Amino acid sequence: HTSLARWADAIVVAPATAATISRLANGLAEDALSATVVAAACPVVVAPAMHTEMWEHPATTANIETLRRFGYRIVDPEAGSLAGGDEGIGRLADPDSIVAAVDEVLGGAGTLAGLTVLVNAGGTREPIDEVRYIGNRSSGKMGNALAVAAAAKGARVVLVTTVEAPKHPSIAVVAVETADEMAKAVWERAAGVDVAVLAAAVADFRPVGAASGKLRRADGPPPLELEATPDVLRGVAELPDRPFLVGFAAEVGQLAEAVSKAKQKGVDLLVANDVAKAGSGFGSDSNEVTLVFPDGSTEPWELLDKPAVASRLWDRIAELMRHGDGS
């Protein structure tokens, strides 16, 4: 199995049963398949297939999330006819979708070879006291997908994150929690990279002077005074020797605001996503984004899963850099 794992350029597990997914998520090398995958350093594509109830079981959901964190490319099952005459989610994805996923993990390899990129991910937490904080709904999935996709395309990646990070030999992880920590970590590293893609949801405001200990209900509602946090994106844009800079903007049906922000922030590209749309934005596995350029022009994309958005975005960034559209 080790020889086979070293030989392969990619491994495709299709169909992947709930049992196989569980073994891979827990590193259990109990048969030839799982032993080969666990030993592999190449990209792994997993195409689940099972009855709806098994696909939606909390254990399967958790195992799939674990595989995503490992950097495995998951090709979600489709709705359709299942074994035993049942209908529902769990049918093996169309072969073309599986082939496209393989092309994605292999076809773009080397696109970013020789580059060092910085990605940030997750939402910051701004303490109210030692127990409570002001936060947001960001899951970090988009940022993690960007880091994994960049590594797959040959880049050395620095990932500054507030959430659990994918494990990959080409991804160096810097863990932070607050906006101040995020700003410091990003600004210290941004001048030394070729590209910075800032996908984290950094809080705009924080409480002034977090209380020590825990605020008690019996004492009544405390006054909550807020102050602005550092503007991480603008800070990178103002560096004298800054990288090609891409920002993310979570909007609620306000593309005009994103166009304005692209001009104000001094970025080479802004990626806007409407988090109010079904299946897009915080916590979801997919995203519908619009690229916004400094001249105000836009490029809307269809709804895609986040790894596909990440892969396509890196290809677009590489194209822009080749054509000299960055700074």
Return the DSSP state at 93: P
H or E stretch at 185: helix 179-190
What pLDDT score was predicted for residue 323? 84
Residue bearing tokens 């020590």: 212
- Which residue ranges form the domains of the chain, and what is each CATH number? 2-107 (3.40.50.1950), 116-322 (3.40.50.10300)
What pLDDT score was predicted for residue 207? 95
Question: Which of the four pLDDT bands, split at 50, 70 and 90, describes residue 277?
Answer: confident
What pLDDT score was predicted for residue 109? 56
Q: Concatenate the DSSP letters of all residues of 239-264 into one string.
A: -TTPPEEEEEEEESS-HHHHHHHHHH
113: left (phi over 0), alpha (psi -120 to 50) or beta: beta
Query: Which one of 26, 120, 136, 273 is the catalytic residue?
Result: 136
What pLDDT score was predicted for residue 281? 74
pTM of the complete model = 0.69
CB 50 within 8 A of CB 92: no
Give CA–CA dist 34/67, Å, rounded: 13
Give CA–CA dist 101/98, Å, rounded: 5
What pLDDT score was predicted for residue 1? 87
pLDDT tens track for 91-134? 999 887 888 788 778 865 578 988 999 999 999 999 999 999 99
Q: Is 136 a catalytic residue?
A: yes
pLDDT cut 90: percent of the chain above it? 73
Question: Which of the four pLDDT bands, split at 50, 70 and 90, describes residue 7?
Answer: very high
User: SS3 for 139?
Assistant: coil
Question: Which of the four pLDDT bands, split at 50, 70 and 90, describes residue 276?
Answer: confident
Q: Average pLDDT, whole number, for the chain?
A: 92
What pLDDT score was predicted for residue 69? 92
More confident residue, 261 or 67: 67
What pLDDT score was predicted for residue 28? 96
* Closest of 166, 14, 29, 37 to residue 101, by C-alpha: 14
What pLDDT score was predicted for residue 326? 47
H or E stretch at 149: helix 141-152
What pLDDT score was predicted for residue 315? 93
Give CA–CA dist 148/152, Å, rounded: 6
What pLDDT score was predicted for residue 254? 74
What pLDDT score was predicted for residue 107? 60
What pLDDT score was predicted for residue 327? 42
Output the CA angle 315-320-321, nearest 5 degrees.
100
88: Cβ–Cβ under 8 A, 6 or more apart, which residues?
51, 52, 79, 82
* Closest of 296, 298, 315, 299 to residue 307, by C-alpha: 315
pLDDT tens track for 33-88? 999 999 999 999 999 999 999 999 999 999 999 999 999 999 999 989 998 889 99
pLDDT tens track for 140-196? 999 999 999 998 888 999 999 999 998 876 899 999 999 999 999 999 999 999 999
What pLDDT score was predicted for residue 108? 55
